[in-house]
Structure 1
Amino acid sequence: MDMKKRITLEVRNRSPAEIVELVVDNSRSADGEVEGLTDEFKELEFLSLVNVGLNSLSKLPSLPKLRKLELSDNNLSGSLETLSEKCPNLTYLNLSGNKIKELSTVEALQHLKSLQSLDLFNCEITSLEDYRDSVFELLPQVTYLDGFDQEDNEAPDSEDEDEDGAGPTSEYDEEDEDEDGSEGGQGGRGFQVNRPDQDEEDYAEDEEEDTAIAIAAAVHGHKRKRDEDDEGEEDEDDEDD
């Protein structure tokens, strides 16, 4: 699916100005450029363009609120200066699996003053001597490179932070919680509260029915025995005659 159509499907009937997160991974860019994104996506904070065939970022629109940008597994080898112009508030940038070879290419990220985490894993630049020290020196604002700081301390997992946060992570989760936790839960508790009373009533009715059957059986047995005794007496009288 081409990128433009994928973005249309992701947005659906919403206004681009309402979109905060947008993921179009594995879609296709016809000419190696960003397609379907416009300056109307002014509230966008997270954008993922993984494996979409990008060769350039020159057509990236202005995204002033963008904080996190995923660009891994593309064919980017330059044009990174566009990021500081169009996305000046980036704090996280993933460029792993691209064709970045030289430190001069990364130098274009110096103007991203808020950039804290940069990922260049699986790029040729990582094979350079003193690669990590050079990048940290070139980009002093960066705390984590390829997931680790200068002392090799691992970066905190953003997903774990989300899990620790309060509230549901999506509307779907919230609906499930309402169904299972409130309506469904109350229904379950109501069923459990009412069920014993119902069972007691059913048990009482069954017990009364069993008692009635037992009494009827006893009366019938007594009557039958009395009839048999009467027949026995009549037989004795006949023999005496």
Structure 2
Amino acid sequence: MDMKKRVSLELRSRNPAEIAELVVDNSRSGDGEVDGLSEDFQQLEFLSMVNVGLSSLSKLPALPKLRKLELSDNNLSGSLETLSEKCPNLIYLNLSGNKIKELSTVEALQSLKSLVSLDLFNCEITSLEDYRDSVFSLLPQVTFLDGFDHEDNEAPDSEAEDEDEDGEEGAGPTGDYDDEDDEEEDEDGSEGGEVGRSLLAPRGDQEDEEDSAEEEEEEEVQAGLQGQKRKRDVDDEDEEDEDDDDEDD
């Protein structure tokens, strides 16, 4: 598929001015030139044109917001000065697998003051003596060359960082949900605890209550017995009085 048609398909009827990322890898450029892109892509921040047969960048439109450009596995051997003119805010540039042989070709990138990462892996220039020291000296703004800094520390993985950020955002609701569950469990536990304490009262307390009930019953029985006794005493006294009266008669 040619690059112009691929760009059209990637748009999906959207306005080019709204596009921030565009990938046209493995399409075919017309005559080795950038095709299908225009200055309407003013919001474009990421552009990938891997293995599209590019031999020149002369027709690359001005993309002032472009920060990351993938151009690996093409046929570029020069014309890098176009990048300084058209994409002045580039931070990451991948030129691996191209036909770049001389340091003078890379010198054209000196005007890219924001350039942090440059990849020239599998280009002939990497076979030059003191290649890395020479490039770092020529482009002091570059921190990472072919994925490593001047002290051979590996560059951070930008994709992994993006995944970490998404994971942190997704963790928020999960934490809130767990807290709510914990609160509900605490509430249920407190209510259940009160019931449990009443049902599982110490045996001694229950015995005390039973003893108190038994004592009350005994007191009631004794009170009843005493009442009956007093009644019998009164009856006996009445009978004695009657007997005395009969004797007097």
TM-score greater than 0.5 by the shorter chain: yes
Q: Deviations over 1:111-169 (max 9, x none)?
A: 00000000000000000000000000000000000000000000000111110113799
Residue 15 to residue 78, structure 1, CA distance change in 2 (3 Å): same
Aligned equivalent of 1:160: 160
Structure 1 runs, 4 residues or longer, greater than 2 Å off: 166-169
User: Following superposition of structure 1 onto structure 2, how do residues 77-156 of structure 1 map, counting pairs within 5 Å?
Assistant: 77-156=77-156
SS in 1 for 2:110: helix
Aligned length: 171
Identity across matched positions, percent: 83
What RMSD in Å do the two structures reach over aligned CA positions? 1.6
- For the residues of structure 1 that align with 2:148 and 2:77, how far apart are their CA atoms? 23
Q: Deviations over 1:167-207 (max 9, x none)?
A: 799xxxx9xxxxxx9xxxxxxxxxxxxxxxxxxxxxxxxxx
SS in 1 for 2:33: coil
| Structure 1 length-normalised TM | 0.69
| Structure 2 length-normalised TM | 0.67
Q: For 1:44, give the aligned amino acid.
A: L
- For the residues of structure 1 that align with 2:10 and 2:71, how far apart are their CA atoms? 18
> Gaps spanning 5+ residues in structure 1: where?
175-180, 182-241
Aligned equivalent of 2:215: none
Aligned equivalent of 1:4: 4
Is 1:24 the equivalent of 2:28? no
- For the residues of structure 2 that align with 1:23 and 1:167, how far apart are their CA atoms? 25
- Of the two, which has the highest radius of gyration? 2
- For the residues of structure 2 that align with 1:76 and 1:166, how far apart are their CA atoms? 36
- For the residues of structure 2 that align with 1:168 and 1:83, how far apart are their CA atoms? 36
